[in-house]
Structure 1
Amino acid sequence: MPSPAPIEDYGLLGDTRTAALVSSDGSVDWMCIPRFDGPPVFGRLVGGRAAGSFRLGPAVPADVVSRHYRRDTATLETTWKTDAGRLTLTEGMVTEVRGQLMPATMLVRRLSAPDGPVDATVMFDPRLGDRHRRPRIQHRGDVLVCSWPTLAIALQTTPVTSIEPGVPMRITTTPDRPFLSAMSVADREPLVYVDPDAARRALNRDELRWQAWCRDIAPGLPHRGAVVRSLLTLRLLTYSPSGAPVAAPTTSLPEEPCGVRNWDYRYAWPRDASIGIGAFLGVGKQDEARAFMAWLLSATRLDRPRLPVLFTLHGKHPPPERELKDWPGYAGSAPVRRGNAASGQHQLDGYGWVLDAAWLLTRAGHHLYSETWRTMSGFADRVAESWREPDAGIWEVRADAAHHVHSKLMAWLALDRALRIAPHHHTRASRTRRWDAERAALHEEITRCGFSTERRMYTRSYGSPDTDAALLVLPQLDFEPSDSPRVRHTIDAIVRNLDAGRPLLYRYPPGTDGLPGNEGAFLPCSFWLVQALARTGRLVEATGLFEEILALASPLGLFAEEMDPSTHHHLGNYPQALTHAAVVQAALAIRDATDGLPGTSLDCTTKFGWAQ
């Protein structure tokens, strides 16, 4: 069995409802329908050949001479050099379908050969779900229809080609005769056939919309191209019907090759929504920031004042975690999982992220609606009641709960931000007095129990000798002065003890999470270090580190969750929203430090000091 393409070889296509991953040989090896968390129809990435794929590319192996997204769009172009000449694949998914007779999911792919006739191969092999079910096949005139009980796919091509699912077909593309395909999806609704030329025009209109969206992103941002690509990725990973931020469009891409650390990330974490609010506000995208807060309100409505760790795209609790039988996994990394058991954990830090996001909106002039403030007040009350309990921590370690210092700091942040928002709303004095008292108690306990005078650093948990890269947020919290010796020594200890080979960091000491095997370096941590350095006056170091990390992006500017320190291959689910939000945060921190302006939030997204 041939080795799979490296994770970083894949490009992301998306329409804000679902996504596809396509390799540099033109094979769509992952796509779930009709949503990010739906059953895969092309699942070869982790399910092997039997799970289906859709390849469109050279008939014989050929070198890739160019591969890039069209500027400020989500349209991908791949060009191969063959013996007969160049062959270019242009592909994308249509985002905006409102007001048109268009399906909600439409994948458009076009092969062109500018130098002369070039032979290509079409291999269309949809298989649905956990059991790789073959479709019922019908040819309705020029349309190939593949259907299952509640789902259907239509494939049309220009020129008309008689494609049989699962059977490779050779075609010839010429300068005056490109090959164009349009794949549409229907879920419990009428199947819409789309003429390929009309589909191409819709994709072209989509490109103009993306370019207009990118146009007002500040031109002076450090490494603006990387920031824009990260923002586009965050947009593509936002489920537009509900506003839910998807952590990643994949499941079970391994954190260790051939290991068991394979998790399903096709869900929405409130933490990611909160970080996204900061990232979008920082570049002036107010609507996107407010949409994330609206999703938070909707998703948490049945659980308040408790804040669940994660939700489905429609704000429900995720299904129980289970392993998929007979799925070989990416490069033999089994098991492949569906669902995520972290949903049952208690994670205290989430409240801090959410309350900080509410403060960011308030500081930006967006007065919180009364329901929003009631929700935030309830979260603050919950923190005041429960912060003394141990929790699972930000890293969702599947072991006994502990008193994680990062979690306690985020609990302090939740109460601090609630107190900062309170003057903008009618809030009972007794309530704010309680928040203030609990905030002071937290501060006292963290500085007493969470700081090691022997090691001169904040530790991973009370009494632990370990460091924790999550503590790189310290300079942004206003918990104590960002230039204090405690903060600086903690940053230096993290770099020293969690070094995975510059510019990479482990998130905690390897081998301390109770799971077999090890994992890669955690990419968001490197970007958090950039923030920490910029916030503590080490701008030259921050700028150099930022450039080094960006150089490790995929050829298309995408990042997974983790990276193999020895090979620099990407690991874990891909692309990862948390990593791309961290790219934006790091750029904003450098911008503010360059301008001589203090970072003023957990995400360094506003240019003014805290209100006192």
Structure 2
Amino acid sequence: MIGGGDALPLRARGLIGDTATAALVAADGTIDWWCPTRFDAPAALFRLLDPGGGAVRAGPSGPPRAGVQSYGDRDNVLHTTLQAGNGAELEVTDFFPWFHDSPGGRIVRILEARRGSVDVEVDVVPGSAFGPARDISSWSEGMAFDGVVVRTGHPFDQRTSRLQLHAGERAVVTIDGPKSKATPLRVDDAFDLLDRTTTAWRSHLGPLTYAGPYREAVERSLLALKALTYGQTGTVVAAATTSLPEHVGSERNWDYRYAWIRDASLAIDASYDAGLTEESERFSEWLGGVLRGAELPLRPVFSVDGEPLEGGETELALAGWRRSQPVRVGNGAEHHLQLDFYADLVSGIHVEQMRDANSAVERMWPQLARMTDWLAEAWQQPDRGIWEIRSEPRHLVSSKLACWYALDRMAELAAARNPLDLDAFGWRTASREIVAWLERHGLAADGGLRADPSVADRADGYLSQVAWRSPWPLDHRIVTKTVDRTLQQLSVGPFVYRYLPDSDDGLPSGEGAFLACSFWAVEALARLGRWEEAHERMEALVTFSGPLGLLPEEADPISGDFLGNLPQALSHLALVQAALALAEGPT
């Protein structure tokens, strides 16, 4: 009997991945999300978005029941413990074999009876490309459908394979994608793959220098980010999923299985600051490839291989998570003018990287200079900003502040690289013009920054970043008032919304609190020296992530439900930077 889907809360899932694609495993042993071959491929297992969608469950016979999930020590190996009748217990260990950017595309599921005798069922709903599979066959040891092969070592009756395990006995289930040449896997070989995979994940964290009080949360975030990285090109996808709603029942459902320049840039910065400098260089290489020959303005989002998205958004005939429609493939933000991410792009550049003539950063300097020349004029345009508003572009204070930072930072880097660089003078001039605009048009009545030059004086969750990206000193009234008004208007407990619920972004109102904004508030408070407030919020947010340490895009502050795509790279990046900021002060 198949489980998973929206009968379980979104948070009742763990992620496994191999730096090519990823899968979500529900707490009842059902894999209800998997896109074979790569993150943005059509899904074969997608019960997450439709009750008739493809899925593979391994668990005790009878109706599915949620168990307890945990990760191994410093790895992305997921353990699900399921209770059977008469006190028996089954553990399902799920992983993709992974040995440092060598994805094989195979899901391995090790089944072990921990106590008693367990009648095990492996149930399959064959799916293909967000629809039912057409070419389905089975044989003595497995089932195949549209190129996907499920091996259990036992025959299938209809779409269920049954076996019995006594205490201490183990069995292996494998799921292989199209074009795989994988062969049946013995139990001993599965454990060899498990050991090698565990070693690889732990060695990925080996260079980590962070030693603060949130070490486990930082490790889990860095592991999630690596699982969301497309190893072939080195970029990070925004999330593993599409169309999980920001508000249940609404149309705020987006496809995040692509690479945003913003996320890739922040990943450079977070990895570098956390000590994972080699990983930071990989992200830089992808970004350099995007910049080379790119037209300006830069597109905000690309495919995982660095190519422009084509075709806009397509709506699929699926029910959606808890009837939240539409279910989308593709992302219409590909043609947005977004001016904020240029700040993130240059934030990940460090002077010491430019001292190496062979570094990815130094190699892309001509493209960065050309981009900054363009930005020195383009900052005056209205845009859709970080929030990708679907209404008409407007003059967003967040985007102006980001442009100031990008120009100012590039002027600093140019001067450090070559004190006689004349580009720095022009970029400084443009940055001063932005400061004048901000002080003339961007201030609310209380003296803090507002979302836009309207009469409403609304706060914007992004503007907490004024505490570290600002033309004013930390103790300046504009900085302190901006942070205070953001928390006063947008905060519910430790959670911070992007903007007020009735703000016009071109969509029906209503969504959850934005987790990246919540961590930006933590970082802002830390930089202002308000350590107790910052730690109180951080501890609550880390607790919210649950035992698996995974973060979605948004949260319902009242129910504690996960909202939006899962896991969300931006949320984890913001957690890492907040933890690093807190490490600078008392614990």
Secondary structure at 1:40 match in 2: coil
1:208 lines up with 2:199 in the alignment: yes
Q: AA paired with 2:574?
A: A
1:387-398 aligned within 5 A: 387-398=379-390
Q: AA paired with 1:161?
A: H
Q: Which residue in the other structure is 2:145 paired with?
A: 146
Secondary structure at 2:323 match in 1: coil
Q: Which residue in the other structure is 1:193 paired with?
A: 183
Secondary structure at 1:435 match in 2: helix
1:171-190 aligned within 5 A: 171-187=163-179
Matched-pair contact (CA < 8 Å) for 1:304–1:379? no
The Cα RMSD (Å) is 2.3
C-alpha spacing 1:353/1:578, structure 2 compared with 1 (3 Å) = same
Matched-pair contact (CA < 8 Å) for 1:153–1:191? no
Secondary structure at 2:583 match in 1: helix
Q: Which residue in the other structure is 1:564 paired with?
A: 556
Matched-pair contact (CA < 8 Å) for 2:100–2:200? no
Secondary structure at 2:172 match in 1: strand
Matched-pair contact (CA < 8 Å) for 2:27–2:66? yes
C-alpha spacing 1:318/1:360, structure 2 compared with 1 (3 Å) = farther
Q: Which residue in the other structure is 1:338 paired with?
A: 329
1:111 lines up with 2:106 in the alignment: no
Residue identity over aligned pairs, in percent, reads 33
Q: Which residue in the other structure is 1:96 paired with?
A: 99
Matched-pair contact (CA < 8 Å) for 2:241–2:255? yes
Which moved further from structure 2: 219-228 or 501-510?
219-228
Q: Which residue in the other structure is 2:127 paired with?
A: 127
Q: Which residue in the other structure is 2:426 paired with?
A: 434
Q: Distance in 2 between matches of 1:245 and 1:212?
A: 19
Which moved further from structure 2: 225-234 or 106-115?
106-115
C-alpha spacing 1:192/1:524, structure 2 compared with 1 (3 Å) = same
Deviation at 1:170, TM superposition (A): 3.0
Normalising by the residue count of structure 1, what TM-score does the alignment of the two structures yield?
0.90
Secondary structure at 1:252 match in 2: coil
Task: Give the alignment partner of residue 244 of structure 2, picking from 247, 250, 253.
Answer: 253
Q: AA paired with 1:146?
A: F
1:337-356 aligned within 5 A: 337-356=328-347
Deviation at 1:420, TM superposition (A): 1.3
Task: Give the alignment partner of residue 322 of structure 1, picking from 313, 323, 346.
Answer: 313
Q: Distance in 2 between matches of 1:304 and 1:514?
A: 27
Matched-pair contact (CA < 8 Å) for 2:68–2:82? yes
Q: Which residue in the other structure is 1:75 paired with?
A: 77
1:55 lines up with 2:54 in the alignment: no
Q: Which residue in the other structure is 1:417 paired with?
A: 409
Q: Which residue in the other structure is 1:607 paired with?
A: none
Normalising by the residue count of structure 2, what TM-score does the alignment of the two structures yield?
0.94
Deviation at 1:314, TM superposition (A): 0.9
Q: AA paired with 1:322?
A: E
Q: Distance in 2 between matches of 1:257 and 1:98?
A: 36
1:161 lines up with 2:154 in the alignment: yes
Matched-pair contact (CA < 8 Å) for 2:523–2:534? yes
Secondary structure at 2:129 match in 1: coil
Matched-pair contact (CA < 8 Å) for 1:86–1:115? yes
Matched-pair contact (CA < 8 Å) for 1:184–1:193? no
Q: AA paired with 1:76?
A: L
Matched-pair contact (CA < 8 Å) for 1:181–1:196? no
Secondary structure at 1:94 match in 2: coil
Q: AA paired with 1:419?
A: A
1:284-299 aligned within 5 A: 284-299=275-290
1:231 lines up with 2:233 in the alignment: no
Q: AA paired with 1:32?
A: C
1:349-385 CA-to-partner distances (Å, cap 9, x unmatched) read 1111101112476489896654311111111111012
Deviation at 1:96, TM superposition (A): 2.2
Q: Distance in 1 between matches of 2:547 and 2:47?
A: 22
Unaligned runs of 5+ in 2: none
Task: Give the alignment partner of residue 40 of structure 1, picking from 38, 43, 47.
Answer: 43
1:12 lines up with 2:15 in the alignment: yes
Q: AA paired with 2:58?
A: L
Matched-pair contact (CA < 8 Å) for 1:106–1:183? yes
Q: AA paired with 2:94?
A: E
Q: Distance in 2 between matches of 1:492 and 1:363?
A: 37
Matched-pair contact (CA < 8 Å) for 2:228–2:236? yes
Matched-pair contact (CA < 8 Å) for 2:126–2:136? no
Which moved further from structure 2: 330-339 or 82-91?
82-91
1:231-268 CA-to-partner distances (Å, cap 9, x unmatched) read 00000000000112100010000011111110000000
Deviation at 1:301, TM superposition (A): 2.7
Deviation at 1:428, TM superposition (A): 6.8
Q: Which residue in the other structure is 1:522 paired with?
A: 514
Deviation at 1:316, TM superposition (A): 1.4
Deviation at 1:62, TM superposition (A): 7.0
Q: Distance in 2 between matches of 1:324 and 1:402?
A: 27
Q: AA paired with 1:228?
A: E
Q: Distance in 2 between matches of 1:97 and 1:136?
A: 34
Q: Distance in 2 between matches of 1:340 and 1:432?
A: 36
Q: Distance in 2 between matches of 1:423 and 1:332?
A: 55
Q: Give aligned pairs, total.
A: 579
C-alpha spacing 1:299/1:196, structure 2 compared with 1 (3 Å) = farther
C-alpha spacing 1:348/1:98, structure 2 compared with 1 (3 Å) = closer
Deviation at 1:63, TM superposition (A): 6.0
Q: Which residue in the other structure is 2:274 paired with?
A: 283
Matched-pair contact (CA < 8 Å) for 2:261–2:301? yes
Q: Distance in 1 between matches of 2:586 and 2:463?
A: 23
Matched-pair contact (CA < 8 Å) for 2:281–2:360? no
Which moved further from structure 2: 107-116 or 386-395?
107-116
Secondary structure at 1:74 match in 2: coil
Q: AA paired with 1:79?
A: T
Which moved further from structure 2: 571-580 or 421-430?
421-430
1:531-578 CA-to-partner distances (Å, cap 9, x unmatched) read 000000101111111001111113311110001122110000001000
Q: Which residue in the other structure is 1:31 paired with?
A: 34
Q: Distance in 2 between matches of 1:562 and 1:388?
A: 31
1:47-103 CA-to-partner distances (Å, cap 9, x unmatched) read 322x2100001213476564210110111111122223111111111122888xxx7
